[in-house]
A and B are shown apart, each in its own frame.
Chain A
């Protein structure tokens, strides 16, 4: 199975801050990397697919980059509704696997 490792596990930031979350795969997954946002008590929601494509309806302050084994999710200017947990997920092979999550908290 492909292991996905996110960093940091949590971070504190203020509204308006630029936030970067990284995700590393245990082997190359090309660009088969997706990002999800999960607000407390809610289901995950797809933000970014194939490493950098923005899902319909997702604000443009979210962006993704990377390929191979190293990937990044960036929020250009953090908004109050962005405080949540973010997961990366590889869709390269079965079983699809997730990172452990990064919790973005209010500073």
Chain B
């Protein structure tokens, strides 16, 4: 049974940076595409980014393109989201989620972490 555990959330000032991590256990991370999905307080789900099984292909939502970078270290079974130039609208719970296969076209999310809260505020 796969498990994902996010960390790295917290309160950060506008314009600053933050890096989220997602540790994977119970499955071979290097076999799957991985995604970040976020949820603003009281709002719905918004897809943020995806990385292919080897990190060779990445795609982003327009709302974060140029500010966020998704990456992975399969040797550490860990996914990352480097967030920069943060704005208030980035305030959300950030979930990592496993894609159902290895490429970036694997857009079904079959395992989710518990989420980590990022609050952008001065």
Contacts and interface: CB of A to CB of B under 8 A. Distances in A.
Contact of B104 (A32, A89, A94, A97): A94
Contacts, number: 56
B114 interface: yes
Chain A interface, >50% SS class = loop
B45 A43 contact: no
Interface in B83-122: 95, 100, 104-105, 107-110, 112-115
Interface string A73-107: 00000000000000101111111111111000000
A101 B44 contact: yes
B112 to A, nearest CB: 4
B50 interface: yes
Interface of A: 32, 34, 36, 42-46, 49-50, 55, 87, 89-101
